[in-house]
């Protein structure tokens, strides 16, 4: 049973250090879809990954978020 004080989504509340993108190459074009995010651990020895979906093909690319929150 979950503690009522815990965040029920298990998602960190601070902004992510990286965004996870699923990239599929089709010919000369690449299609990027955001699939999750990553947060650095305080000890700088690892990351916590949170995925909304897990792709079965293509690749996952981790990139730093842009300053514009609309992106």
pLDDT (tens digit, 9 = 90+) per residue, 32-54?
Answer: 999 999 999 999 999 999 999 99
For tokens 């916590």, name the residue. Answer: 48
Residue 25 belongs to some domain of the structure: yes
Q: How many domains does the chain have?
A: 1
Phi-psi region of 44 (alpha: psi -120 to 50; beta: other; left: phi over 0): left
Per-residue pLDDT reduced to its tens digit, 10-30: 555 699 999 999 999 999 999
Domain assignment of residue 43, given as a range = 18-63
Whole-model pTM over 0.85: no
Residue 4 belongs to some domain of the structure: no
């Amino acid at each position: 049973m979950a503690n009522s004080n815990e965040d029920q989504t298990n998602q960190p509340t601070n902004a992510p250090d990286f965004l996870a993108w699923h990239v599929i190459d089709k010919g000369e074009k690449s299609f990027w879809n955001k699939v999750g995010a990553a947060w650095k651990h305080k000890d700088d020895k690892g990351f916590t990954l949170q995925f909304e979906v897990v792709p079965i093909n293509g690749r996952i690319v981790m990139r730093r978020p842009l300053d514009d929150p609309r992106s």
